[in-house]
Chains A and B, each alone.
Chain A
C-alpha cells in the first residue's frame, strides 16, 4: 500500500540556519503531496502542496519540489526562526478523501 517516510527527529537548529526535512513516498498511482505543520495544542495547518511532477510548492519561505524520479518531496527553508518550531508532517493523497501521513518531524529552533 501507499506510505510516507520522513526523517526522524527531533531536529534542533539555531535561528537563521538552513532547514531540510526529508520525505520519501511509495504510491501505486500518481498522488498529490503535502506538507502540514502542527503547533502545540493545535490541529494541522496546510503549509504547501504539489500535484504533479516537478511542481514546487512554496509558502512562508518554505519550499518543496515533487520529484517523481526519486519519489521525494523534501521540505526546505533558507533561514528558520524560533516561531517555526513545530511538528511537520509529509502526506500524500491519491485524490480521495484519505491522506496518508509520515510519522512527523519535530523541529526546535533555538535563538
Chain B
C-alpha cells in the first residue's frame, strides 16, 4: 500500500497570505489528523477529520481550518499568515470505526511552510 502523501513538500509565503495544504491518506483509512511541528512548541494537534466531519479540534485560532472529501483526502487552510505559522505541518491517517476509537496513526513526510 502507498503511504500517506502530502503536497506540496515546501512552501514559501509572505505575511497576510493564505495557504492550502493537501493530504492523501493510506487507502482504506477514513481518519485524517493534522499536526504542527515547531522547535519551540514541539508537535501540536490541530484537528481530526472522519467521514468528512471534524471530530476533534486542538487549541489553534480560527485562521486554521480544514476539510475532508468523500475519498478521505484532506486539506488544511491557514489564512492571514503570521511569521509564527512557519512550521512543518504533518498529516496522519488511521483506520477508525464509527465507535470513535482511532487505530494507530501513520504519518506523511510533511509540508515545510516558511512565512516571510
Whether the Cβ atoms of A46 and B104 lie closer than 8 Å is yes
Whether the Cβ atoms of A98 and B33 lie closer than 8 Å is yes
**Nearest opposing residue in chain B for A34, CB measure:** B104
Q: How many residues of A contact B (CB 8 A)?
A: 20
Q: How many residues of B contact A (CB 8 A)?
A: 28
Whether the Cβ atoms of A101 and B104 lie closer than 8 Å is no
If A43-B110, A44-B107, A46-B106 touch, does A97 touch B55 (CB 8 Å cutoff)? Answer: yes
Q: Interface residues of B: mostly helix, strand, loop or mixed?
A: strand
* B101 touches A (CB below 8 Å): yes
If A42-B109, A43-B109, A43-B110 touch, does A98 touch B104 (CB 8 Å cutoff)? Answer: no
Q: Which residues of A contact B (CB under 8 A)?
A: 34, 36, 42-46, 49, 89, 93, 95-104
Q: Which residues of B contact A (CB under 8 A)?
A: 4, 6, 31, 33, 35, 42-43, 45, 48-50, 55-56, 58, 90, 92, 94, 96, 100-102, 104-110
